[in-house]
Structure 1
């Protein structure tokens, strides 16, 4: 399970819905200010992941607050890189392109901390090297995403012929050191291998959209511990379903956990079609919105994700979607009698493949 924060909520990517059913070098952070200059960048190592975002202007036009890469693997852990194209630091009005690193907490034990040293970078085509910042972060069971690290003002990037070429830019992350704080005091050897290359393509128009409404008639009678799923529905040639933990999963705190999942039968179909080069090499990129409908006042509870790559065997959502106490308040209208209505809106906005 991978976790990160989107629009004020913890957004998680479930790694196995079927079974769980469920800096400148030497500086920790580039501080944005009006005196930012290109020379603030430091040279970084060759990254473990090189993420090429094509049609960067189209990414901005979607209005998505963030875009997240597909998973890459390093030293026995699963990682993802996230780009926040219009990040603003507290007290600043200047939008920056920022990056952050995320890991899957599936192998992490409550009470254990994983201290990771890494580099976040953007590729300078003129100099032929990755430039960026060195950072570190303590990941743990309920916090598997680092803080955002500003790399370059958005307007500087859009004007640059060094970092933006043919409306495309390349971001990177390199894992330098991993220390696990646990009773065993286990050290992790960072194994270097060839760079993983991924491409993200954002469509300019003709998005595929779909909506599904799930009326959970027996919400108050649902088992408190089990994962509950809706009937399947199809969007963008994939079968999906909405799933929930009515009283929260192990990553939540007194909250409803709500997810959008890729159906297992769809995964089988993808495997059977693996001989088709397009299906093998290309993954859908999507934005989703999950809502609990207010049946009395019309004040629906809604959360919208950033851009995600559709990997088979995964689901995406919020462990802490909404507090259980407020959810069940009669005046709120979210649970009427024993009925709770969940709505999923899904938009396919592009594709991703390995380079």
Structure 2
């Protein structure tokens, strides 16, 4: 790409719309050390999965848990061609209503020719019900695929560096960003031989379930791991008048320390009358022990319980989980 700031603008051409007004690619310099270095091997396989996003395993910084998400074919309003975009995510567990965390960070991709990261500086207000930053475009997908500087042996390296955290909460807690050694993660994607599994959970007493409690299915196995579907029938604390559905690793599951599984999941509530099932499919996720993945606002409770919908018949609700293991992840 040469000089990132000038040439990335040139790549857009007259027909393209700049993704956002403050978007600029810049060199961060050879002394730039990210908090997370995420190496995605077999990048073309990521595109072939059709996944909307790939999310790293958790990394830790200044008392919080974070993840980096890559959106390989991001297209926004006015975009003529897709961009590779990044966004930062945090775990909302430590946040409560009224708790806001203003974070300044840098998102980047490694330029092998220059030996340095190239990217953009961003900021975002994370709060109780919003743990995802906006997407920030880094490079046109077509340019990345042709680049010998950013894509080497079908692999590319992304980074995130957290610069500042300001917390507004009832406790007015100050956070000092503590720099430490870079966390390195590797994502390996398979081209074939995916391991797939399906589990159907018949919730026969759905309408009688306690409104506040977490309900879990029996355990089932896919890819050598034990899973279960978790449900908050009336929504968890992050939802708004919706049922919450999650796929979780069973606590008894023993994850290998040298390699974690990478998976895509689909959760569905089956329409028992009309066959118009409610379905949501995730991007790529890395198995972390004790984690759950899903949707706090899976579907509105009022529509879910409408007799004409067929999602709750009598007091029966049927939930289906489809899990596909498509790769592995390990620490570098």
Normalized against structure 2, the TM-score is what? Answer: 0.90
Q: Deviations over 1:68-110 (max 9, x none)?
A: 0000000000000000000012121210000000001111121
Taking structure 1 as reference, are residues 281 and 133 closer, same or farther at Cα in structure 2, changes over 3 Å only? Answer: same
CA distance in 2, matches of 1:117, 1:88: 24
The answer for the alignment partner of 1:322 in structure 2 is 299
- Asked if the contact 1:25–1:42 (Cα under 8 Å) also holds between the matched residues in 2, the reply is no
- Asked if the contact 1:51–1:170 (Cα under 8 Å) also holds between the matched residues in 2, the reply is yes
Q: Deviations over 1:156-175 (max 9, x none)?
A: 00000000000000000000
CA distance in 2, matches of 1:76, 1:28: 44
Determine helix, strand or coil for the equivalent of 1:188: coil
Q: Which moved more, 1:277-286 or 1:297-306?
A: 277-286
Determine helix, strand or coil for the equivalent of 1:331: coil
Taking structure 1 as reference, are residues 182 and 159 closer, same or farther at Cα in structure 2, changes over 3 Å only? Answer: same
Q: Which moved more, 1:17-26 or 1:44-53?
A: 17-26
Provide structure 1 residue ranges, at least 5 long, that are not aligned to the other structure. Answer: 1-13, 262-271
Give the C-alpha shift of residue 24 in structure 1. Answer: 15
The answer for the alignment partner of 1:266 in structure 2 is none
Taking structure 1 as reference, are residues 222 and 35 closer, same or farther at Cα in structure 2, changes over 3 Å only? Answer: closer
Give the C-alpha shift of residue 184 in structure 1. Answer: 3.5
Determine helix, strand or coil for the equivalent of 1:260: strand
CA distance in 2, matches of 1:19, 1:161: 18
- Asked if the contact 2:264–2:324 (Cα under 8 Å) also holds between the matched residues in 1, the reply is yes
Give the C-alpha shift of residue 143 in structure 1. Answer: 0.4
Taking structure 1 as reference, are residues 308 and 341 closer, same or farther at Cα in structure 2, changes over 3 Å only? Answer: same
CA distance in 2, matches of 1:127, 1:69: 25
CA distance in 2, matches of 1:115, 1:36: 19
Taking structure 1 as reference, are residues 337 and 291 closer, same or farther at Cα in structure 2, changes over 3 Å only? Answer: same
Taking structure 1 as reference, are residues 299 and 170 closer, same or farther at Cα in structure 2, changes over 3 Å only? Answer: same
- Asked if the contact 1:99–1:151 (Cα under 8 Å) also holds between the matched residues in 2, the reply is yes
CA distance in 1, matches of 2:322, 2:9: 21
Taking structure 1 as reference, are residues 257 and 37 closer, same or farther at Cα in structure 2, changes over 3 Å only? Answer: closer
Q: Deviations over 1:254-280 (max 9, x none)?
A: 10000111xxxxxxxxxx999999922
Task: Identify the structure with bigger relative contact order (alpha carbons < 8 Å, sequence gap 6+).
Answer: 1
The answer for the alignment partner of 2:204 in structure 1 is 217
- Asked if the contact 2:35–2:183 (Cα under 8 Å) also holds between the matched residues in 1, the reply is yes
Taking structure 1 as reference, are residues 182 and 15 closer, same or farther at Cα in structure 2, changes over 3 Å only? Answer: farther
The answer for the alignment partner of 1:333 in structure 2 is 310
Which 4+ stretches in 1 moved above 4 angstroms? Answer: 14-30, 33-44, 272-278
CA distance in 1, matches of 2:318, 2:3: 25
Taking structure 1 as reference, are residues 146 and 274 closer, same or farther at Cα in structure 2, changes over 3 Å only? Answer: closer
Normalized against structure 1, the TM-score is what? Answer: 0.84
- Asked if the contact 1:23–1:41 (Cα under 8 Å) also holds between the matched residues in 2, the reply is no
Matched positions, count = 332
Q: Deviations over 1:4-49 (max 9, x none)?
A: xxxxxxxxxx999999999999999993399999879988831000
- Asked if the contact 1:292–1:340 (Cα under 8 Å) also holds between the matched residues in 2, the reply is yes
CA distance in 1, matches of 2:273, 2:2: 35
CA distance in 2, matches of 1:19, 1:315: 42
Taking structure 1 as reference, are residues 48 and 222 closer, same or farther at Cα in structure 2, changes over 3 Å only? Answer: same
Provide structure 2 residue ranges, at least 5 long, that are not aligned to the other structure. Answer: none
Q: Which moved more, 1:234-243 or 1:31-40?
A: 31-40
Determine helix, strand or coil for the equivalent of 1:36: coil
- Asked if the contact 1:258–1:317 (Cα under 8 Å) also holds between the matched residues in 2, the reply is yes
- Asked if the contact 2:16–2:79 (Cα under 8 Å) also holds between the matched residues in 1, the reply is no
CA distance in 2, matches of 1:76, 1:22: 37
Note the aligned Cα RMSD (angstroms). Answer: 8.4
